[in-house]
Chain A
Amino acid sequence: MAAPTVPESKQLQYISQQAADSRVNVEFETEDGMTLNIGPQHPATHGTLRIITRLDGEQVISCEPVPGYMHRGYEKLTEVRTYPQVTTLINRIDWLGSFANEVPFILAAEKLMEIEAPPRARYIRTILFELSRMANIVLFLGDLGAQLGGVTAVFYAFRDREFVLNQIEAVTGGRFHPNFDRIGGLKDDLPKGWIAETKKCMTRVHDFCDELEDLLIGNEIFQARTRGIGVIPANVGLSYGLSGANIRGSGVDWDIRRDHCPPGLVYDKADWKVCTHPDGDSFSRSWVRLQEVRESAKIVDQLLDSVPSGPVMAKVPRIIKVPEGEAYVATENPLGQMGYYVISKGDLVPFRVKIRSASFNNVSIVPWVTRGVFVPDVITILASLYFILGDIDR
């Protein structure tokens, strides 16, 4: 490897200057703080998020996340891709729950074209959506354990996530990037025997939740590390645009799936509940996520029983031109609210797509919530906020 062209002293100077520049309100001042640079490559960051912390002893004075190491410019790229091509790109935003990324974009295009998927497609869409939520959050729960020092959980998570991924793969052909959702329906129907297999898989997911509740959530050390750490009041969280389990962990009873589900998904056909926790700390966020996996498995279980027959694709033109207009569709993705603001000019390609990803807002609260905490708690807070770098950088 070639030697770095910038001398170390310059680098240090740069780092400390950046930290000094971060205009975060500090509650206490020091003459000579210490600057600790976490990342870009750090196990706690799920990718390449760099965090510059300025410390006084072990306490964080200020903390500034530096995203952008993985910025792929999807908003620009979508302007030169046809609508069906866009789903290939946006799959890679939140790569652990890829199918869920496609759905809001497809729904926005369907809204502009004023077509609706047939009932069977909407059921399967919802089922796959929930499967990707499970695959995503199951890994979160394991990873949470690993980051707090309980490495066992991560092996359980990787093992059981594979069962969910197998089901997704059986339908879509891809473990991670299904690219399965189409404007007007789905690419294909379910394979034979899939429903029975998935029901077995749901039992496993329930078992995993019980296992993990004993192993991790109920663990004394885990609770000591997470209870009361990184408390986010509801109004602060909302003004930062926190969504999903992060805001339900602060006691806000709001779930897009239940409250204003966009047409094209059938959450109203299942009996399930939205879990909230009033504390707003790292523990409550993790707890809410665990319950969400359970509810998600319940939804899938019920929907599997009632998948209607019929086609999986509506009649759509072969060359898809989306009529002029603007539409914003947001769904409750594994990481929080994800939405696409699509502006169409009646062309083959979108004129502008604003991608509102959940992690971007969820991580922007980090400077606020890490003020005055201790260094290990920074890791707890980051882990409990749960972000995917692709979802921040897009």
Chain B
Amino acid sequence: MNQLSSADTEAPPADQQAEAPRDERREALISLFSAEIGDAVVGTHIRAGDDLWIRITREAWLETARFAQQRLRMDFFDFLSGIDWRPSPYGRDMDSQEDIVVHGTEPKEPPAMATGYAGGDTRFQVFARVFSTASHEGVTLKADLPDDDLSIDSWVPVYAGANWHERECHEMYGFTFNGHPYPVNLYLPGDFEGFPLRKDFPLLARRVKPWPGIVDVEPMPGSDDDEGAEGGDS
């Protein structure tokens, strides 16, 4: 996939499409993880020659980090954050006239929830990425968090850099990191209510004052696209 595709060659030749690309190095990495933590590996995904995703149980979260750092030499801590897989009940909010026409301004029933690579069973996931500066391979680790107990072990004892990332994740998603040395808000004021990065947290700036930009767009001469028609009454 690193090949150059010029504007003229739209689709790769048929024989390339047919062969499913394999990635032995990353498959070997997965088997190393499975050998160490066993059934705690719940799901995997490989993009051949590029990247690796592993989903583990949250009980094995800290143990996996320790294994990755000390045995696999994944010494570089990249980031840690959360995902809220529930589709936003607000669509694109007031930015998009299209959404308002289709769904109305009231919060709509969100479509079915679907999780990403390596699967997932819950609305919330914690995901983190570690990387080896020696072999230049990274892995994105994910763990499900059940709705009734949004807590997971802290990575700070293993990767000290997780400290700020977990504080941010804590205030933005409301996750609890067990054993975190200083679990206070990083960005938000201490008495802030709500968890801004959750999908059901509305973007209040757009509620107060709708985005006026759309009225400035003039239709292109000779264009019959829907873009020009929606300006006006925001």
Q: Which residues of B contact A71 (CB under 8 A)?
A: 187-188
Q: Residue A118 contacts which of B7, B95, B116, B163 (CB distance < 8 angstroms)?
A: B7
Given A80-B93, A239-B77, A314-B7, also A360-B164 (CB < 8 A):
yes
Q: Which residues of B contact A337 (CB under 8 A)?
A: 78
Q: Assess the A325–B5 pair: CB atoms within 8 A.
A: no
Does B79 touch A at the CB level, under 8 Å?
yes
Q: Assess the A240–B92 pair: CB atoms within 8 A.
A: no
Query: Given A71-B188, A314-B6, A315-B10, 13 other A-B contacts at CB below 8 A?
Result: A67-B186, A67-B187, A118-B6, A239-B69, A311-B7, A326-B140, A339-B79, A341-B81, A354-B81, A356-B129, A361-B164, A364-B161, A365-B160
Which of A33-41, A147-155, A252-260 is near enough to bind chain B? A252-260
Minimum distance in angstroms from A308 CB to a CB of chain B: 11
Interface residues of B in 48-89 (CB under 8 A from A): 50-51, 53, 69, 75-79, 81, 83-84, 87-88
Given A239-B77, A349-B92, A364-B164, also A68-B187 (CB < 8 A):
yes
Q: Assess the A343–B81 pair: CB atoms within 8 A.
A: no
Q: Which residues of B contact A241 (CB under 8 A)?
A: 76-79, 159, 161
Does A119 touch B at the CB level, under 8 Å?
yes
CA A330 to CA B79, docked complex, whole Å: 11
Q: Assess the A22–B129 pair: CB atoms within 8 A.
A: no
Does A238 touch B at the CB level, under 8 Å?
yes
Interface residues of A in 332-356 (CB under 8 A from B): 337, 339, 341, 343, 345, 348-349, 352, 354, 356
Minimum distance in angstroms from B48 CB to a CB of chain A: 13
Dominant SS among interface residues on chain B: loop
Q: Assess the A368–B160 pair: CB atoms within 8 A.
A: yes
Closest to B5 in A: A116
- Using a CB–CB distance below 8 Å, which chain B residues touch chain A? 1-2, 4-7, 10, 50-51, 53, 69, 75-79, 81, 83-84, 87-88, 92-93, 95-96, 114, 116-117, 127, 129, 133, 136, 138, 140, 158-161, 163-165, 172, 181-182, 184-188, 196-197, 201, 203, 206
Counting residue pairs across A and B whose Cβ atoms lie within 8 Å, the total is 121
Q: Which residues of A contact B95 (CB under 8 A)?
A: 80-81
Minimum distance in angstroms from B220 CB to a CB of chain A: 11
Q: Which residues of A contact B158 (CB under 8 A)?
A: 239
CA A73 to CA B4, docked complex, whole Å: 36
Interface residues of A in 300-327 (CB under 8 A from B): 311, 314-315, 325-327
Does A227 touch B at the CB level, under 8 Å?
no
Ranked 7 nearest A-B pairs via Cβ: A68-B187, A241-B161, A240-B161, A356-B79, A241-B77, A364-B164, A71-B187
Query: 0/1 per residue, A90-114, Cβ < 8 Å to B?
Result: 0000000000000000000001001
Q: Assess the A115–B206 pair: CB atoms within 8 A.
A: no
Q: Assess the B184–A21 pair: CB atoms within 8 A.
A: yes
Q: Assess the A76–B203 pair: CB atoms within 8 A.
A: yes
Does A159 touch B at the CB level, under 8 Å?
no
CA A326 to CA B78, docked complex, whole Å: 16
CA A239 to CA B80, docked complex, whole Å: 13
Interface residues of A in 53-98 (CB under 8 A from B): 67-68, 71, 73, 75-77, 79-81
Minimum distance in angstroms from A231 CB to a CB of chain B: 16
Closest to A356 in B: B79
Minimum distance in angstroms from A343 CB to a CB of chain B: 6
Q: Assess the A115–B182 pair: CB atoms within 8 A.
A: no
Does A267 touch B at the CB level, under 8 Å?
no
With an 8 Å Cβ cutoff, the count of chain A residues facing the other chain is: 56
Q: Which residues of B contact A259 (CB under 8 A)?
A: 136
CA A263 to CA B186, docked complex, whole Å: 35
Q: Assess the B140–A328 pair: CB atoms within 8 A.
A: yes
Minimum distance in angstroms from A330 CB to a CB of chain B: 8
Interface residues of A in 234-284 (CB under 8 A from B): 235-236, 238-243, 252, 254, 259-260, 263
Closest to B211 in A: A80
19 residue pairs of the A-B complex, CB under 8 angstroms, read A67-B186, A67-B187, A76-B197, A76-B203, A80-B92, A239-B158, A241-B79, A241-B159, A259-B136, A263-B2, A315-B7, A326-B53, A328-B129, A341-B79, A343-B116, A348-B92, A352-B84, A361-B161, A393-B187
Closest to A72 in B: B187
Q: Assess the A68–B188 pair: CB atoms within 8 A.
A: yes
Q: Assess the A116–B4 pair: CB atoms within 8 A.
A: yes
Q: Which residues of A contact B10 (CB under 8 A)?
A: 315
Does A200 touch B at the CB level, under 8 Å?
no
Minimum distance in angstroms from A146 CB to a CB of chain B: 27
CA A75 to CA B196, docked complex, whole Å: 10
Does A23 touch B at the CB level, under 8 Å?
yes
Given A328-B51, A328-B140, also A239-B186 (CB < 8 A):
no
CA A354 to CA B82, docked complex, whole Å: 9
Q: Assess the A326–B133 pair: CB atoms within 8 A.
A: no
Interface residues of A in 357-394 (CB under 8 A from B): 360-361, 364-365, 368, 393
**Residue among A115, A326, A349, A365 having the largest count of chain B Cβ atoms under 10 Å:** A326
Q: Which residues of B contact A238 (CB under 8 A)?
A: 75-77, 133
CA A236 to CA B164, docked complex, whole Å: 15
Q: Assess the A240–B77 pair: CB atoms within 8 A.
A: yes
Q: Which residues of A contact B96 (CB under 8 A)?
A: 80
Minimum distance in angstroms from B117 CB to a CB of chain A: 5
Q: Residue B206 contacts which of A67, A80, A365, A393 (CB distance < 8 angstroms)?
A: A80
